[in-house]
Amino acid sequence: LLTRLDPFDVVFLDEAGQATEPSSWMPLLRGSRAVLSGDFCQLPPLVRSNEAWEGQLGVSLMERAMSLGDPFVADVVPDTGIQTVFL
């Protein structure tokens, strides 16, 4: 199905902090640029399977990217903790 879609110029992934990593990759593979928005510190991805949770599917792509370190953080809004992140 994904191969039938035209490529996207930009993929906007809203609530990326709550999306499972596989569900995030599906649209991202069709785009040349991406914007991930959300707060991975609030609600984690909804994973109902213990096996999937143990397989690290309870970690969003946004959280995994943020755990790689500061090179991705472009700006932090003072007194809010809101970050602009480039992946």
* 23-65 confidence digits (pLDDT tens): 898 888 888 888 888 877 788 888 889 998 898 888 888 888 8
pLDDT at 8 over 60: yes
Give me the pLDDT at residue 62, please.
Answer: 84
CA–CA gap between residue 20 and residue 59 (Å, rounded): 7
CA–CA gap between residue 72 and residue 87 (Å, rounded): 6
pLDDT tier, 76 (very low <50, low <70, confident <90, very high otherwise): low
Q: In the predicted model, what is the mean pLDDT of the chain?
A: 79
Give me the pLDDT at residue 71, please.
Answer: 52
What does the block give as tokens for 9? 């110029």
Give me the pLDDT at residue 51, please.
Answer: 92
For 1-4, the CB contacts below 8 A with 24+ separation are: 2/26, 2/29, 2/30
- Can you tell me whether residue 68 is helix, strand or coil? coil
Residues forming a β-bridge with 15? none
